[in-house]
Amino acid sequence: MNILLVEDEDNIASFMSKGLTAEGHHVERAATAAAGAAIALTYDFDVVLLDLMLPDAHGRDALERIRQVKPDTPVIVVSALGETEDKVDLLDLGADDYLVKPFAFAELAARVRAAGRHGHASGRHLRAGELSLDTKTRAATVGDGPKVDLPAREFTLLEYLMRHPGQVLSRQQILDAVWGIDFDTDSNVVDVYVSYLRRKLDRGGGQSVIETVRGAGYRVRA
């Protein structure tokens, strides 16, 4: 799933991100309420994990903005504020769940899975131009061409690019998101896997579905 984590504490954000990434999810992070709301409204996410005590504003403000525009996006509040009135307040504002810090990662993972099952934010199919991707079967198609079943890493790479249609993503961004932040930054693995995808998806004589932006990175044509 594609998850937005709005959390200002680096240690907590790292703990949550690494665990969720190991579970097979892609995690984007924002450290302020304003940034979290802006990212949530710009892109589609399966689940938003929202802290309340943020440096610029209360997480309640971000929740209200998200609910105004994307009422179906599942939002799980993750906060040290564990009083009953805090929970009731946020649930009444539209939060789908409330998890009190500290928590066991297994509980967080289970709640994310439950929220994702009931969410309708990103849907099963991603589309960018003629390219479509079924996130359940991991099959990609271009136009009216045949379905192409993708191995796990190629699927994760294509899904990440397609969740940012038209946006130039640097090799470092792709490495961090698809292979993990500790991966060797001198590796050419991104270029190798983009080449794999192109061989499977590109049609002869046409433009590649994954565009190289010289000196910057890659993007999927929107």
pLDDT tens-digit readout, 186-213: 678 999 999 999 999 997 666 889 999 9
Give the residue from 93, 98, 47 showing the smallest Cα distance to 74.
47
More confident residue, 222 or 38: 38
- Average pLDDT value for residue range 168-181: 82
CATH number of 2-118: 3.40.50.2300
pTM tops 0.85? no
Backbone angles phi, psi at 7, to 5 degrees: -155, 130
CA atoms of 103 and 61, how far apart (whole Å): 24
H or E element that contains 49: strand 47-50
- Model confidence pLDDT, tens digit, residues 102-145: 888 888 988 898 887 765 444 567 888 889 988 778 899 998 88
Q: What is the pLDDT of residue 122?
A: 46
Paired strand residues for 76: 49, 97
More confident residue, 195 or 175: 195
CA atoms of 20 and 180, how far apart (whole Å): 11
125-220 adopts what CATH topology?
Arc Repressor Mutant, subunit A (1.10.10)
Q: What is the pLDDT of residue 5?
A: 96
